């Protein structure tokens, strides 16, 4: 697995390999009121097939609205066996993890255990220090909103060496943060702009653990997944390289070859991107969050306040506190996130009217535009 740690959790790249698997869309319906009209479904199916034709191994969309759910898939869940993308597929959700852990922090804010505008030094003394980095000047809000200026730990040479033994290594968040802050300097002063850095969310996980005394995974389970009944959503154990079934294989194009990246050491992603979920459960989570079921009104308002454009991401993603305001062609107000991790890419969002859409792709290195188009079509399709 020489591709091993080319692991920018939100950055998709590489050259797509067309797999000629178009016109193979399958779909499932619930018996509840349907969230997408026949005309809208046709548009979404066309977008799914186009994404596969453009290079994705497989793509699935799940649309939830008004108590109903509709899902459709195109392409393959397993190129080698020809198996379809499984219904209710579990996939690695990458940076959608950030919204889960940010929600935990906002619950801690509501409980009076964390202050958003307090310096991170208060909670993690001596941790956030380095060249141009001072934890007394960087607030919890800066960390949550990517306005801290902290360098990207995923750029560490040891994470990009191609050493196959790293697959079996336990990656400790504190060690990775320490390495990043002692070998790389700050990118800008706190609050000067917003620049996506996964280092921020390793620190969010550490903050949760320091304040609660529990692993961040336990707090996510206790506070979010169990209350919402999200039985397929979890943080893998550090030595659990696989994904619980049913799941598609996850693929990555490396040096022009498509390789299977289903097994992956997600401890390297930690609180920045380690979680696994399904499209239906992602929709349930984002809907519950945005409808006020997980946070008091004041904290939900803070979570969405003053979203800022990310200077190192494509236009159309304005970031607040673990939530992003997403631009779509039809102009609807959409809040959500998204994720990218070796083998998988996800797009997630909920409209102001309550339509929730999750798009799951089992290949990260294909061009993001066709999968983004599936999301946009499902959000904007006429009900």
Catalytic residue list: 95
Q: Which two tokens stand for residue 248?
A: 């598609």
How deeply is 23 buried, as exposed, middle or buried, from its count of CB atoms within 10 A (0-12, 13-18, 19+)? exposed
Question: Could you give the CA distance from residue 295 to residue 301 in angstroms, rounded to a whole number?
Answer: 9
Quick one: angle between helices 97-110 and 199-212, nearest 10? 40
Neighbours of 125 (CB within 10 A): 13
Q: What does each C-alpha distance from 365 to 4, 9, 245 come to in angstroms?
A: 14, 12, 23
Q: Which two tokens stand for residue 288?
A: 């519950």
| Listed residue (41, 48, 52) closest to 18, CA to CA | 52
Q: Which residues touch 51 (CB under 8 Å, ≥6 apart)?
A: 59, 74, 75, 361, 366, 370, 371, 373, 374
CA-based angle 364:367:372, to the nearest 5?
A: 90
Cβ(70)–Cβ(30) under 8 Å? Answer: yes
Give phi and psi for 377, each to the nearest 5.
Answer: -65, -45
Question: Could you give the CA distance from residue 232 to residue 26 in angstroms, rounded to a whole number?
Answer: 22
């Amino acid at each position: 697995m020489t591709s091993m740690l080319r692991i920018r959790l939100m950055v998709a790249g590489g050259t797509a390999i067309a797999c000629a698997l178009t016109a193979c869309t399958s779909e499932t319906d619930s018996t509840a009121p349907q969230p997408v009209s026949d005309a809208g479904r046709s548009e979404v199916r066309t977008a799914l097939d186009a994404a596969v034709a453009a290079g994705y191994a497989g793509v699935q969309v799940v649309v939830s609205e008004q108590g109903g759910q509709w899902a459709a898939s195109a392409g393959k869940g397993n190129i080698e066996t020809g198996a379809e993308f499984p219904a209710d597929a579990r996939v690695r959700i990458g940076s959608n993890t950030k919204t889960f852990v940010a929600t935990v922090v906002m619950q801690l804010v509501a409980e009076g255990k964390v202050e958003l505008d307090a310096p991170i030094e208060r909670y993690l003394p001596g941790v956030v220090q380095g060249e141009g980095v001072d934890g007394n000047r960087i607030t919890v809000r800066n960390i949550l909103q990517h306005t801290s200026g902290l360098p990207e730990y995923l750029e560490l040479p040891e994470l990009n060496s191609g050493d196959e033994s790293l697959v079996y290594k336990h990656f400790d968040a504190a060690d990775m943060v320490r390495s990043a802050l002692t070998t790389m300097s700050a990118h800008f002063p706190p609050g000067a702009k917003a620049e996506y850095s996964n280092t921020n969310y390793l620190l969010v996980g550490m903050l949760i653990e320091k304040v609660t005394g529990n692993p961040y995974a336990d707090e996510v389970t206790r506070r979010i997944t169990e209350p919402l009944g999200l039985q397929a959503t979890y943080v893998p154990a550090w030595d659990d390289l696989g994904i619980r079934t049913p799941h598609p294989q996850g693929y990555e194009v490396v040096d022009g070859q498509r390789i299977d990246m289903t097994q992956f050491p997600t401890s390297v992603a930690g609180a920045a991107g380690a979680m696994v979920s399904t499209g239906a459960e992602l929709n349930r989570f984002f809907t519950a969050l945005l409808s006020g079921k997980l946070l008091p009104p004041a904290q939900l308002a803070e979570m969405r306040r003053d979203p800022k454009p990310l200077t190192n991401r494509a236009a159309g993603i304005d970031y607040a506190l673990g939530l992003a305001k997403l631009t779509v062609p039809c102009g609807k107000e959409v809040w959500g996130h998204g994720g990218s991790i070796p083998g998988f890419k996800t797009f997630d969002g909920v409209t102001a009217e309550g339509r929730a859409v999750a798009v799951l792709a089992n290949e990260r290195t294909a061009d993001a535009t066709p999968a983004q188009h599936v999301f946009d079509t499902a959000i904007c399709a006429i009900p």
